[in-house]
Amino acid sequence: FFSSLFLSFFPFPPPSLSLLCFAGFQKTEAPRPPGAKDLHVYPWDKSSLKSMPLDLEQFKKLDDYALKVNVKNSVEELVKALLKQARTDLEKVRAIWMWICHHIEYDVVGYHNKSQLSSKPRDVLQMGKSICEGYAELFEHMCSLAGIQCKKLSGHAKGHGYKTGQTFTGDSDHAWNAVYLEGRWHLLDSTWGSGSVDDSFTKFTYRYNEFYFLTHPALFINNHFPDNSNWQLLKPTLTLKEFENNMLHNSNFYMLGLLATHPETPIIQTVNGKASVSVDCRSSTLFMFKLKGAEEHGLMTLEKHGMKLDIYPQKTGSHKLEIFAKPSKAEASDDVYKCVVEYVVECESVDKAMRFPKELHQPVGPSWFSERQGFLRPSHRQPVLHTNDGRCSFTFTLGKDISVLTSLHGDGSSLAEDMGRRHVLQIQRRNQIELKVHLPHAGSFVLKIYSKKKSDPGNYDYIFNYLIRCLNTEVKWPAFPQSYSKWLQDYEILEPLSGLLPANRNVQFRLKMHGVAKVLVQAENTYPLTQNKGVWEGTCSTSGCREVFVMVHENANHSFYSQVLKYEVETQ
């Protein structure tokens, strides 16, 4: 019976797959039943993942040794070989645990054909495979040979084939162990420690999982419910009903340092078409989500200690919501997003107004991540900005050596990519940047922000985005003027901001530019601008032309002018 743990990347197998692993477990008596001193407080106190203090680094040598032991002729010989490097009871249990997790595979064929199956320790060792019952019996037998009290436990588990919110009836469907160390009982599951089974329950893959070794009982109860409630090792103990209704947090959840989810119930009802979920964690963690297998109909924001997610399903009915996480420090190459928790969202009514543009990327809004990329002190901390007149402005303090690129995206094809860039005006004043946005029409828009190091020749990297909403159907702002490569990042247009000039009119120009010798405005005629305290000023007539260019003369000794800005003129 398998942990859904690493199976989170696959959908569940068909319900026809029985959850039973082996019925009719025999009971073995352990010398001392669990008492008050074995109990841990429930709910989890968020302290340790283990039921006793462990330094896994100290096991390194022992683990390596145990993995290499290759004795298959008898269980006695195997235990004797393993104990050569183990002094304390804890080390003996660790050596046995490591060996079983790396040498016994889950018997997917035997699972489907139990009559041919023996879970006797000798047979399990000879075959090198078994189901949970065989893992637990082998573990118990090896411990007793090593002089350690160990008990095989049976009960219900939320493992392979588990469906959110299901009930458990009938015989137990899983087996695991309790071991007696340093004066109290501890729990472990070597079946789930060894690896996982694929979706169709036809292939086992070794994938060691440290989580199930001496797991803290308040976490073990998450997916293991023993027939005898004393073996929960908890105060208070949980009822089967509570176990069924509790949120399933798999081992990825805890191994990634996540602490809690809200709500704590796996089935959520929408209220007015919206459902909200949040996850708490210790350190900066990256998240993503899937609703019915697609990352859409949601608005996720990253917080320093977790994330918040609002879901707006666009169809009524039941929707599977999966939440994935990965550490933000991407040193390890195996840092892929792992499923950490699943909900079922029951939607009774749809909020059509909360349709998001296809271009919206999760997470939305600024966060510790954008801050880490050098976008400090954002003027808008919220992910969504509402504007009534179709104009808005965002400011940031920029970290050193950062070059910024922005673009605006509408819904559908209302905004071509080159025009999307021209509806955002970047103004840089020393280490401050302002992004002025003028929307072309009412609707929902995405403002995407990219950056790169100025010293890097490479491409810009996407950093984050905002959602901008405008309901006012009167709104119709023209694009900003088109700028060319000679227009520097710290130049500033004071006026005219509109890239579309009125026809047959005298237009006032005021431009902040440095390091140029002359500035001209080229229309039907040419109009020189004069410099006054760093601002180039003057007027130009738009009559008789369709385009107006601003040109600069970088060096008074050259006769060469460069175009820096281009305006269109309205047609009559």
346-393: per-residue pLDDT in tens?
999 999 999 999 999 999 999 999 999 999 999 999 999 999 999 999
Q: What is the pLDDT of residue 4?
A: 40
When pLDDT is averaged across residues 425-450 and rounded to a whole number, the result is 96
Whose tokens are 């993942």? That residue is 49
Task: Give me the mean pLDDT over the 431-436 stretch.
Answer: 96
For residue 132, indicate whether it is catalytic: yes
Catalytic hit among 189, 297, 339, 438? 189
Domains within the chain, CATH numbers bracketed: 56-245 (3.10.620.30), 255-347 (2.60.40.10), 356-480 (2.60.40.10), 481-571 (2.60.40.10)
Q: Are 517 and 530 in contact (CB under 8 A)?
A: no
In whole angstroms, what is the distance from residue 445 CA to residue 360 CA? 8
189 catalytically annotated: yes
Contacts of 75 (CB under 8 A, 6+ apart): 121, 122, 125, 138, 141, 142, 145
In the chain, pLDDT over 90 holds for what percent of residues? Answer: 85
Active site residue 45: no
Specify the length of the chain in residues: 572
CA distance 14 to 444: 40
d(CA 97, CA 66): 9
Q: How confident is the model at residue 413 (pLDDT cuts 50, 70, 90)?
A: low
Pick the catalytic residue from 103, 174, 249, 438. Answer: 174
- pLDDT of 13 strictly over 80: no
**Per-residue pLDDT tens for 183-241?**
999 999 999 999 999 988 999 999 999 999 999 999 999 999 999 999 999 999 999 99
- The tens digit of pLDDT for each residue in 16-66 reads 333 334 333 334 344 689 999 999 999 999 989 999 999 999 999 999 999
Q: What is the pLDDT of residues 482-539, one digit of tens each?
A: 999 999 989 999 999 999 999 999 999 999 999 999 999 999 999 999 999 999 999 9
Q: What is the dihedral of CA 147, 26, 159, 96, to 10 degrees?
A: 20
pLDDT of residue 333: 52
pLDDT at 268 over 90: yes
How far apart CA 157 and CA 200 sit, in angstroms, is 18
Helix axes 132-145, 89-103, angle to 10 degrees: 150
Instruction: For residues 124 and 306, give the distance between their C-alpha atoms in angstroms, rounded to a whole number.
Output: 44
Distances (CA, A) of 214 to 102, 137, 180, 190, 443: 17, 17, 11, 10, 55
Tell whether the model's pLDDT for residue 3 goes beyond 50.
no
- Rounded to the nearest integer, the mean pLDDT of the chain is 92
Distance CA 281, CA 276 (A): 17
* pLDDT of 411: 79
Q: What is the DSSP string of 166-228?
A: ----SS--EEEEEEEETTEEEEE-HHHHHEEE-TTS--EEE---GGGSSB-HHHHTTTEEESS
**DSSP for residue 335:** -
CA distance 207 to 203: 13
Does residue 471 carry a pLDDT above 90? yes
Which of 40, 63, 103, 132 is catalytic? The answer is 132
Beta-ladder partners of 512: 492, 535
